[in-house]
Amino acid sequence: MLNISFWYYLLGSMSISQSSAAPKYLQEDEIVPECKDLLSTLPKEKGWAEPHLYKYQGFWYPAWQFQGVLECQQHFQAQDTDILLVSAPKCGTTWLKALAFTIINRNSHSIDDPGKHPLFYNNPHDLVHQIELESHIDNPIFNPSSPRLFATHLPYISLPKCAKNSECKLVYICRNPKDTFISLWHFMNELRLNHLASISLEVAFDKFCRGVSIFGPFWDHVSDYWEESRKRPNKVLFLKYEDMKEDPNLHVKRLAEFFGVPFSIEEATSGVVDGIIKLCSFENLSKLKVNKDGKLPSGVENKTFFRRGGVGDWKNYLWPVMVERLDYLTEEKFQGSGLHL
């Protein structure tokens, strides 16, 4: 069994590089022996912002992240009232965390006095924790009152069995693969290890298309949750980032309904929904001091999570041949599924 104090060590050992916002991640030779032995048996390729990515249960992880995945699978205990926010990286995770936290806690943290709201003093990632990083740690902050709200980037196959088999609810958010790739490329270059050069757009693009990206392949990640949402719509709510940007009012109401805390008529008519949308908007959160100057416990600067937040940024980067390849892959992967991105 893996040492559950690992993430205490990891969070305490990360530091900011003098030359960039990149955290100093645990080196591969510092991984605990049990994990290292398993890693040695797995397929590996050169990573984007780390020496290697390892393929486990069909998806790719850096060594430090992989150890967290194993610990999560062994130790996380889902409760029937839990809510789990799920996404592939750079698909709207930060926004969804802010919205979900605010919707669920709107009675205890009113938006009527937004200057006192936790989002003014905490990055959304500080308020909703990733189960593959830290939720299994025996710490009161990870055991809030019901419903507990967590997040994960884990593919469906790698979720702890208790999360699949319990009555806990999953909210999955996906995004157009072209914008996802561009956002991921920028993000991973910010997080690269000090001794590694930036990964070029062309090299990263080829890896992404081959599925070799953190928590990738992207299309498999999305399609597995899409299929689960069709089989069990009461358990898995599937959202598209672009649809949420187009009609946030509708989707905030959908989230509240799915969480079991629908808005009352009084709330709907008094501007509560619009207030939540404004509070959690990219425009608002990106201007807050905590998200300009703050850092996560890992050492990652909060501003790293607020680059653009829009739709269609891929048009500024991708060549026509790249667009054609991504569109072909997307059509091929989702053919016959009823899903269109």
Structural domain contains residue 209: yes
Strand residue runs (E) in the chain? 44-46, 52-56, 59-61, 83-87, 129-130, 149-152, 169-174, 236-240
| Predicted model pTM | 0.89
CB 218 within 8 A of CB 174: no
Structural domain contains residue 190: yes
Is 52 one of the annotated active-site residues of the chain? Answer: no
Q: What's residue 29's pLDDT?
A: 56
Q: What's residue 108's pLDDT?
A: 87
61: enclosing H helix or E strand:
strand 59-61
CB 97 within 8 A of CB 124: yes
Structural domain contains residue 293: yes
**Total number of domains in the chain:** 1
Q: How far is CA 319 from the centre of its chain?
A: 27
Residue with tokens 């991504």: 326
Structural domain contains residue 1: no
Beta bridge partners of 154: none
Percent helix / strand / coil, the chain, rounded to 5: 50, 10, 40
Q: What is the pLDDT along the chain (341 residues), one digit of tens a residue?
A: 443 333 333 333 333 233 334 444 445 556 788 888 999 999 999 999 888 999 999 999 998 889 889 989 988 999 999 999 999 999 999 999 999 999 999 988 888 876 789 999 999 999 999 999 864 444 444 445 678 999 999 999 999 999 999 999 999 999 999 999 999 999 998 877 555 678 999 999 999 999 999 999 999 999 999 999 999 999 999 999 999 999 999 999 999 999 999 999 999 899 999 999 999 999 999 999 989 998 887 778 878 898 888 899 999 999 999 999 999 999 999 999 999 98
Q: What's the rounded Cα separation, in Å, for the pair 195 and 192?
A: 8
List phi, psi (to 5°) of 237: -100, 120
Range of the domain at 219: 6-334
Nearest CA to 122 out of 295, 269, 242 is that of 295
The CATH number linked to 217 is 3.40.50.300
List phi, psi (to 5°) of 22: -70, 130
Count CA atoms within 13 Å of residue 68 on its CB side: 24
Structural domain contains residue 340: no
Structural domain contains residue 339: no
Q: What's residue 300's pLDDT?
A: 81
Q: Residues 125, 129, 136, 153: which is the catalytic one?
A: 153
List phi, psi (to 5°) of 34: -60, -40
Determine the residue type at 64: W
List phi, psi (to 5°) of 256: -60, -40
Q: What's residue 307's pLDDT?
A: 87
Structural domain contains residue 205: yes
Q: What's residue 85's pLDDT?
A: 98
Q: What's the rounded Cα separation, in Å, for the pair 87 and 223?
A: 12
Peptide linkage before 217 cis (omega within 30 of 0): yes
Peptide linkage before 144 cis (omega within 30 of 0): no
